[in-house]
Every structure is written in structure tokens, then in C-alpha cells.
């Protein structure tokens, strides 16, 4: 066989295999993407899992996946990260698949900022072994992760020395209802002999007493004021400051719920899509009614993760909604960077309804320092 026939056969082979990959390359390719956890705290590590399978006889010498991801995901392996455009990065990974082969690949990344992150599609490209053809296709790969705000020790929060939080916890533990049992606990010095549960004592082999529920049921509302200017159409000037306030609110909520206090949360922000309609001109502000149920903390943290860095209304109108609802017998803690005359008037009205209101004025920290800690 002369060199001419070899060239012709080679060209035909390249052409045929190129057409094969163009026609059947994406056939029976299955891809899924997921996270090993649906929620993490800011600063924690998470695994993103790619699973891809080639369920046909035609092998794939190379297959490239590319997807846009928020820049707040910091990849442990920087080779996984491609070019960065504004607040997004392009995540790329390459596979080589034999017939009927399935590959699972894990990527470790750190969630550096509170938020709710959705991944919708992935761009897939394949080609023949000789590189003469390349084909692209977009594939749906929906998954999401909620990044909760960072929790800080309660001692780091600049609460006033006269804060009513301490009084709430003291009253919560000293005012017991003798008619309502809330379980069994070990005997402690000072417990009355009348509270000893003799059947439980016999089973446990040590003194057990009836644990009583409490009548001092406080209802704590933690509010974050997103206002940094009066004009709600202006963007928030210092998002890191709001992130710090949300972090403080989450920490207080965790502390109060751990101590058995019915706790709620609110702010004059709104939730990100799809939890709010982007076409609505007036979005609903965020409100969670006080509760000390088993899942209340998770509900509050999940809601905080989904708050957009924007305002639904002025904070004065937010407080006015409570006045119009005539809420009573609540302890309200407001985290804010500003205190206006109208806000003070609304606070007096809320106190006139029988509520206790405390304002925590958070000082503006240096922008660079805030950026390092919360941005």
C-alpha cells in the first residue's frame, strides 16, 4: 500500500470518527452535582460532588465541565478555578470516560460569606481523540447550599451592661410552675424532698426530681436595621456592617434559644429569589415570630442565609407594622447603626403597648477591618 492510500484512509477515518462524536458524543451522558451538606456556617468547608457516567460503547477521550460559581466559594485546589469575572468564577474540570464508566469526583471548597447559593446549569464540551471536532451543550444540574452567618461568643457582642437579656434568663429559670412537669433531672442541693420522683430514682439508682416548666415565658424579638440612609432606593453603603449585625443577631438567637427563651427575628430586608418575587415592586420584609420549638434556630439561621443585601422599606415603617399589629408583651432588641427621632417615637409607642425595647447602637468599624472579618 502506497503512501497515498494511507493518507486517504487516515483522512476517512478521522472524518468518520469526527462525525461519530458529533452525532453520538452526548448520547447517554448522565451528570449530577450535589453538596454533601445543604447548610454550613460561614467559614466552614463543604464538598461539591460531581458524578458523571458514559452509558454507551463510544469512549470519550475528554469531556470538560464548566460552570459559573460565586466567588465566595474558595476552592482548596486552585486548579479547579478558572477565570474570575466580577463576583463569579468559572469552575472547570476534565474527565476521560471509557464505555459504561462512571466517575465521581469531589471538590473541597470553603464558604467565605453568608448567603444562599444556587447552581443551575453546567456547560459540557466533548471532542474526538484527534481534536478535529468539538461540541458544546448546556445541561441542567440544580443544587443549592445555604451559608449561615458566623456565630460569635456572646461576650464579643457590645450589649449594654444593663441589657434586659440577663434579666430574661434569670426570670426564666427562677419562676417555675409547680403544676407542669417538663421531665426528670438529677437531684441538686436545695431541691425539696417533695419534688423527688421515687420511681425514676429506683430506675436510675440515684435521686431524680421532677423538672418543672416555667411561667415566665418571655418572647424575644431580635431586629436588624438595614438603614444606613433615609432613601431606600440608594444601595447599602457598607454591606460588611450589615453582615456583622446579622452575625450578632444569629449569635444572640442561638444563645437565647439555648437558654429556653422563645425567640424571633426580623429585619427590613427581603429574601432572595425564589423566596421573593423579583418583579414585585414592594417586597415583604423578613419576620419570624417568637418560638422555642425544636427547629426554631435552624429556621432563623436558614432565613438569615437567604436575606438579600437590600431593603424592602425604611426601618421606621418596619416598626410601624408592629404598632399597627398591636403586639404586646415582647422584649425587642434592635441592632442598628443609627437612631432617628422617628425611630425613638415608634419605640415609645411600642413600649406603651407593654413591650420592652432595647437599642444596641453598633459603632461603625473601619471598613478594611470589617472586610477582613465579615466581607
CATH (domain of 82)? 2.60.40.1530
pLDDT tens sequence across 201-247: 887 788 877 765 444 456 899 999 999 888 877 888 899 999 999 99
Other Cβ atoms closer than 10 A to 124: 22
Give the number of domains in the chain. Answer: 3
Residue 8, domain member (yes or no): no
At 144, is the secondary structure helix, strand, or coil? strand
Q: Using DSSP, how many helices (H) and how many strands (E) does the chain show?
A: 8, 17
Residue 9, domain member (yes or no): no
pTM of the complete model: 0.78
The domain containing residue 337 runs over which residues?
A: 154-175+216-374
Residue 18, domain member (yes or no): no
What strands, in cross-sheet order, belong to the sheet with 331-336? 286-291, 262-267, 219-224, 331-336, 356-361
323: its cell numbers: 404598632
Peptide bond into 266 cis (omega under 30): no
Spell out the residues 6+ positions from residue 269 whose beta carbon is closer than 8 angstroms to its own.
224, 226, 285, 286, 307, 308, 309, 310, 311, 312
pLDDT tens sequence across 7-20: 666 667 667 677 77
Under the banding of pLDDT at 50, 70 and 90, the label for residue 178 is: very low
Amino acid at each position: 500500500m502506497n503512501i497515498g492510500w494511507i493518507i486517504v484512509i487516515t483522512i476517512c477515518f478521522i472524518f468518520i470518527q469526527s462525525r461519530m462524536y458529533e452525532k453520538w458524543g452526548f448520547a447517554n451522558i448522565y451528570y449530577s452535582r450535589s453538596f454533601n451538606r445543604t447548610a454550613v456556617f460561614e467559614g466552614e468547608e463543604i464538598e461539591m460532588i460531581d458524578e458523571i457516567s458514559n452509558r454507551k460503547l463510544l469512549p470519550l477521550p475528554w469531556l470538560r465541565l464548566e460552570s459559573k460559581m460565586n466567588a465566595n466559594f474558595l476552592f482548596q485546589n486552585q486548579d479547579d478555578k478558572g477565570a474570575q469575572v466580577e463576583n463569579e468564577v468559572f469552575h472547570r474540570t476534565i474527565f476521560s470516560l471509557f464505555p459504561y464508566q462512571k466517575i465521581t469526583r469531589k471538590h473541597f471548597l470553603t464558604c467565605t460569606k453568608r448567603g444562599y447559593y444556587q447552581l443551575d446549569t453546567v456547560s459540557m464540551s466533548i471532542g474526538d481523540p484527534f481534536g478535529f471536532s468539538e461540541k458544546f451543550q448546556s445541561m441542567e444540574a440544580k443544587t443549592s447550599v445555604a451559608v449561615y452567618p458566623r456565630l460569635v461568643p456572646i461576650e464579643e457582642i457590645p450589649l449594654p451592661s444593663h441589657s434586659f437579656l440577663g434579666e430574661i434568663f434569670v426570670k426564666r429559670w427562677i419562676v417555675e410552675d409547680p403544676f407542669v412537669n417538663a421531665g426528670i433531672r438529677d437531684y441538686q442541693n436545695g431541691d425539696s424532698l417533695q419534688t423527688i420522683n421515687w420511681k425514676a430514682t429506683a430506675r436510675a439508682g440515684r435521686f431524680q426530681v421532677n423538672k418543672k416548666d416555667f411561667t415566665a415565658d418571655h418572647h424575644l424579638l431580635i431586629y436588624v436595621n438595614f438603614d444606613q440612609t433615609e432613601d431606600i432606593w440608594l444601595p447599602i453603603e457598607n454591606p460588611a456592617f450589615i453582615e456583622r449585625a446579622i452575625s450578632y443577631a444569629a449569635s444572640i438567637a442561638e444563645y437565647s434559644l439555648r437558654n429556653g427563651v422563645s425567640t424571633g427575628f426580623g429585619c427590613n430586608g427581603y429574601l432572595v429569589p425564589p423566596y421573593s418575587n423579583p418583579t414585585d415592586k414592594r417586597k415583604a420584609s423578613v419576620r419570624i415570630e417568637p418560638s422555642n420549638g425544636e427547629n426554631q434556630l435552624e429556621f432563623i439561621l436558614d432565613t438569615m442565609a437567604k436575606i438579600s443585601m437590600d431593603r424592602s422599606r425604611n426601618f421606621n415603617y418596619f416598626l410601624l407594622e408592629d404598632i399597627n399589629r398591636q403586639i404586646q408583651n415582647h422584649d425587642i432588641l434592635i441592632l442598628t447603626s443609627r437612631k432617628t427621632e422617628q425611630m425613638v417615637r415608634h419605640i415609645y409607642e411600642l413600649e406603651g403597648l407593654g413591650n420592652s425595647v432595647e437599642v444596641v447602637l453598633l459603632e461603625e468599624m473601619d471598613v478594611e477591618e470589617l472586610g477582613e472579618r465579615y466581607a
